[in-house]
Amino acid sequence: MWERLSAAQLVPGADPGAARDLFKRSVTMVEIEIFSYCNRRCWFCPNSKVDRISQNVLMPAAMYSRIIDQLAEISFDGVIAYSRYNEPLSDRIILDRLREAQAKVPMARLHTNTNGDYLDHDYVRYLYDAGMRSLNVQLYLKNDERYDHEQTRKKAALTLKRINLPHVLTRDEPGVWLEYAVTYKDMSIRVYGRNFAVNGTNRGGQVDIMQDYVRTAPCLMPFWSVYVDYNGLLMPCCNLRSDVPEHRDYVLGDMAGDGDLFLHYTSRQAALFRKSLLNHQVKEGVCQNCHFAVPDINQDCTDIMDRLSREAEGEMADTV
């Protein structure tokens, strides 16, 4: 991702044309939460505290279409993902949303994560026919149950039996990770369980995982991805969500009305947030204890960060 970085990502206020071009050059994944409902309250997720189970609020169809239409404008060829903090397979409206995306943005790769509770062989086929080509099935135990490798193996056996497709074990690391690759046409399907206490994240301070960690490494997530919650609010990172009070200050924009993905991506708040993460300093706010997507850094990376920071400061000075 380092080769996609540019000083323009650190400078706010691009005009509409420049914003569209920068988004096309920079963003490789757009994640859209098409409704709010999740059937679980897993201990490693903020849904253990935030109510996502008592009702299902759908993203308005017109709002979803606006997002997809804007991606179609730039012939988006990255990933469109359908998982935020809902369970995306709990409402089969996802099939309609996939069909729309496939028709309008045919070069995009349609993907989702799922807890697998609603998935069976037929549903895999329906998802494929609607355009999905990538599926991660995550194996969860009970809401308050910590990772147990043998219990996860049993859960995998039940899930794989229900999916009823050829599969092969690809990773078996006791206490850490269990994964299978499933074969269905040209669709990528992973079925895996992971120990979130070992390899999870605290979701912007909302979950008791690695709270003592101090982040000094840069973060590139807000450079190459954007996240749209079911209410239309844009977030800069998958670990932040608009329905958590402590995260509200990080909302980048709203897709209601005339919301524009490209202008939100190049807004002052978005640019300054990215700039705050492109260094070796201790990160602030909800990023201070984040252990998510820590990149490997060498001197070339440091040189790139220093150069982009200087260039951005120069561009901002020229506009004063």
Say if CB 290 and CB 211 are below 8 A apart.
Answer: no
> CA–CA separation, 23 vs 86, rounded Å?
26
> What is 15-295's CATH superfamily?
Aldolase class I (3.20.20.70)
| Angle, vertex CA 190, rays to CA 187 and CA 194, nearest 5 | 165
> pTM of the prediction?
0.96
Alpha-carbon distance values, 190 to 2, 71, 76, 170 (Å): 27, 27, 24, 10
**What residue ranges do the domains of the chain occupy?**
15-295
Cα atoms in the Cβ-side hemisphere of radius 13 Å centred on 118: 16
Burial of 161 (0-12, 13-18, 19+ CB in 10 A): exposed
pLDDT tens digit at each of 320 positions of the chain = 788 899 999 999 889 999 999 999 999 999 999 999 999 999 999 999 999 999 999 999 999 999 999 999 999 999 999 999 999 999 999 999 999 999 999 999 999 999 999 999 999 999 999 999 999 999 999 999 999 999 999 999 999 999 999 999 999 999 999 999 999 999 999 999 999 999 999 999 999 998 899 999 999 999 999 999 999 999 999 999 999 999 999 999 999 999 999 999 999 999 999 999 999 999 999 999 999 999 999 999 999 999 999 988 887 766 54
Q: Report CA 120 to chain centroid distance, whole Å.
A: 24
Distance CA 276, CA 300 (A): 19
| Contact indicator for 23, 75 with CB cutoff of 8 Å | no
- The residue whose two tokens read 């260039």 is 311
